[in-house]
C-alpha cells in the first residue's frame, strides 16, 4: 500500500477520536472501561421499576401468591416477599374487622372499612313492610383467605355476607306482628345474631369470623306507629291514674296511722289518769283502814279524858265562859267563849 494511503488512514483514525474542534472532552475521559457496569445498573433499575419482583404486605393483611394463575394454599404473612416477575403475582387481602351498616343511605366503604348499605326491608307475619337498621362486624380468617378468594373472588362479601344477613332478618322478623317488634326488640336482636352465626358457620371451610351484630332500629309502617303511640299514651294515662290511686292510698294510710297513734296516746293518757286515781283511792282507803283499825276503846277513853281535862282548865281560867258542845263522834267538840276577846280560846278534838 502506498505510504500516503497509510498516512491518510492513520490521520483519519486520529481525527475520528477527537471531538469537533480538536479538544478531547474531559466528561468521557476513561468512560470506556465503566460503560458496561453503568448500563447494567440502569437496566436493573428499569427492571425493578417495570417488573417489580417484590411485594410488601402490611400488618392486618395477608398475601395470596398466584403462580401462572394457580393460587398457593398458604397465605403470605406481613413483611417483604420476592416474586418472579411476569410469572407470579400477589393479591393482598385485608383481614381486619370489617363493618357493614344497613341504614337509610348507601355509600361505598370508607377508609375505616365501614360499608353503608340499604336498609333491610322485610315483611312481618301479616305481610306489612318493616325496615330494619343493622350493623354487622366480621373478618376473613387469615389461613382461610386463599381458599375463599379462590372460590368466590374478591367480591366474597356480596356472595356470602349480604345474602345471609337479609335472609336471617327476613326469617326472624317474619315470625312477629309489626306491633310486637318494639317490645320484643331484645329477643329479636339475640335471634338475628344467633341465626346469622349459624348461617355463616355453615359456609364451606368456615372462612369468615362473625365478630358482632347490633340491631340499631326497627322502622314500622305509619299506621302501626300511630296505633302503638295511642296504646302507649293510654298505658301512660293508666299508669298515671294508678300512681294517683297509690298516692291516695298512701295518704289515707298515713292519716289512719296518725289517727291511730293519737287515739293510742289518748287511751294511754286516760289509762294513766285512771290508774293514778285508782292508786290514790286505794292508798286513801288503806290509810282510812289503818286509822279505823287504830281507834280502840282504850284510845277513845284516853281522848275523852284529855277533853275533860281541857274543859276543866278552861273553867279554871274563866268561870263565866260559855261552853258549846257539838257532836264530834266519839268525843264532842268543845268551844269556850270568854268575855275577854284577847283570851278567847277554842278546844277541839277530832276523831
Please tell me whether residue 112 adopts helix, strand or coil conformation. coil
pLDDT at 261: 82
**Cα distance between residue 157 and residue 140, in whole Å:** 10
Q: CB of 64 within 8 A of CB of 90? A: yes
- State the cell numbers at 191: 335471634
Write out the H or E segment, with its range, that includes residue 261.
helix 222-294
Q: Where are the domains of the chain?
A: 3-93, 95-220, 233-294, 297-347
Please tell me whether residue 2 adopts helix, strand or coil conformation. coil
pLDDT at 120: 93
Q: CATH homologous superfamily for 95-220? A: Band 7 domain (3.30.479.30)
* DSSP labels, 133-196: EEEEEEEE-GGGHHHHHHHH-TTHHHHHHHHHHHHHHHHHHTTS-GGGTTTTHHHHHHHHHHHH
In whole angstroms, how far apart are CA 152 and each of 28, 155, 203, 204?
Answer: 59, 7, 12, 11
Contacts for 253 with CB less than 8 Å, ≥ 6 apart = none
pLDDT at 319: 63
Phi, psi angle pair for 155, to nearest 5°: -100, 40
Q: CB of 214 within 8 A of CB of 134? A: yes
**Cα distance between residue 4 and residue 345, in whole Å:** 205
**Cα distance between residue 65 and residue 326, in whole Å:** 147
pLDDT at 332: 53
Label the pairing between strands 114-118 and 120-123.
unpaired
Each residue's pLDDT, cut to its tens digit, for the chain (351 residues) gives 444 445 544 555 555 445 444 444 444 454 455 677 888 888 777 877 777 888 999 999 999 999 998 999 999 999 999 888 888 899 999 999 999 999 876 544 454 567 888 999 999 998 999 999 999 999 999 999 999 998 988 889 889 999 999 999 999 999 999 888 988 999 999 999 999 999 999 999 999 999 999 999 998 888 887 877 777 777 787 888 888 888 888 888 888 888 888 888 888 888 888 888 888 888 888 877 777 776 677 766 777 777 777 777 766 776 665 555 555 554 555 554 544 444 444 444 444
**Crossing angle of the two packed helices 145-152 and 156-173, in degrees rounded to 10:** 90
- State the cell numbers at 351: 276523831
Q: CB of 18 within 8 A of CB of 24? A: yes
In whole angstroms, how far apart are CA 114 and each of 34, 100, 110, 137, 138?
Answer: 56, 6, 6, 9, 11
pLDDT at 105: 67
- C-alpha dihedral sign at 297, 300, 305, 311: negative
- State the cell numbers at 225: 306507629
Closest CA to 258 of 5, 121, 266: 266
Which residue matches cell numbers 348499605? 117
Q: How many CA atoms lie within 13 A of 59 on its CB side?
A: 0
**Cα distance between residue 325 and residue 147, in whole Å:** 144
Query: What DSSP character marks residue 75?
Result: P
Q: CB of 72 within 8 A of CB of 83? A: no
Amino acid at each position: 500500500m502506498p505510504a500516503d494511503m497509510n498516512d491518510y488512514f492513520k490521520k483519519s483514525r486520529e481525527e475520528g477520536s477527537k471531538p469537533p474542534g480538536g479538544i478531547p472532552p474531559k466528561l468521557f475521559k476513561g468512560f470506556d472501561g465503566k460503560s458496561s457496569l453503568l448500563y447494567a445498573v440502569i437496566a436493573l433499575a428499569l427492571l425493578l421499576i417495570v417488573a417489580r419482583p417484590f411485594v410488601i404486605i402490611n400488618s392486618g393483611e395477608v398475601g395470596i401468591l398466584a403462580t401462572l394463575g394457580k393460587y398457593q394454599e398458604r397465605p403470605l404473612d406481613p413483611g417483604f416477599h420476592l416474586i418472579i416477575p411476569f410469572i407470579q403475582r400477589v393479591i393482598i387481602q385485608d383481614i381486619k374487622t370489617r363493618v357493614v351498616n344497613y341504614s337509610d343511605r348507601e355509600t361505598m366503604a370508607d377508609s375505616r372499612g365501614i360499608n353503608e348499605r340499604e336498609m333491610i326491608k322485610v315483611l312481618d307475619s301479616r305481610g306489612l313492610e318493616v325496615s330494619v337498621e343493622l350493623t354487622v362486624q366480621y373478618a376473613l380468617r387469615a389461613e382461610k383467605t386463599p381458599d375463599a378468594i379462590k372460590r368466590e373472588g374478591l367480591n366474597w362479601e356480596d356472595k356470602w355476607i349480604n345474602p345471609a344477613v337479609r335472609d336471617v332478618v327476613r326469617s326472624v322478623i317474619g315470625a312477629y306482628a309489626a306491633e310486637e317488634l318494639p317490645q320484643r326488640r331484645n329477643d329479636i336482636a339475640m335471634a338475628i345474631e344467633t341465626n346469622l352465626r349459624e348461617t355463616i358457620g355453615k359456609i364451606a371451610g368456615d372462612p369468615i369470623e362473625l365478630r358482632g351484630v347490633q340491631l340499631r332500629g326497627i322502622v314500622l309502617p305509619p299506621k302501626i306507629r300511630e296505633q302503638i303511640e295511642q296504646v302507649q299514651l293510654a298505658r301512660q294515662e293508666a299508669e298515671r291514674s294508678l300512681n294517683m290511686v297509690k298516692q291516695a292510698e298512701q295518704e289515707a294510710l298515713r292519716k289512719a296511722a296518725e289517727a291511730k297513734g293519737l287515739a293510742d296516746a289518748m287511751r294511754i293518757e286516760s289509762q294513766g289518769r285512771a290508774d293514778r286515781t285508782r292508786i290514790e283511792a286505794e292508798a286513801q282507803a288503806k290509810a282510812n283502814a289503818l286509822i279505823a283499825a287504830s281507834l280502840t276503846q282504850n284510845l277513845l277513853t284516853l281522848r275523852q279524858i284529855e277533853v275533860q281535862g281541857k274543859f276543866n282548865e278552861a273553867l279554871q281560867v274563866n268561870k263565866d265562859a260559855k261552853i258549846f258542845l257539838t257532836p264530834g263522834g266519839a268525843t264532842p267538840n268543845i268551844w269556850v267563849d270568854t268575855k275577854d276577846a284577847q283570851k278567847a280560846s277554842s278546844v277541839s278534838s277530832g276523831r
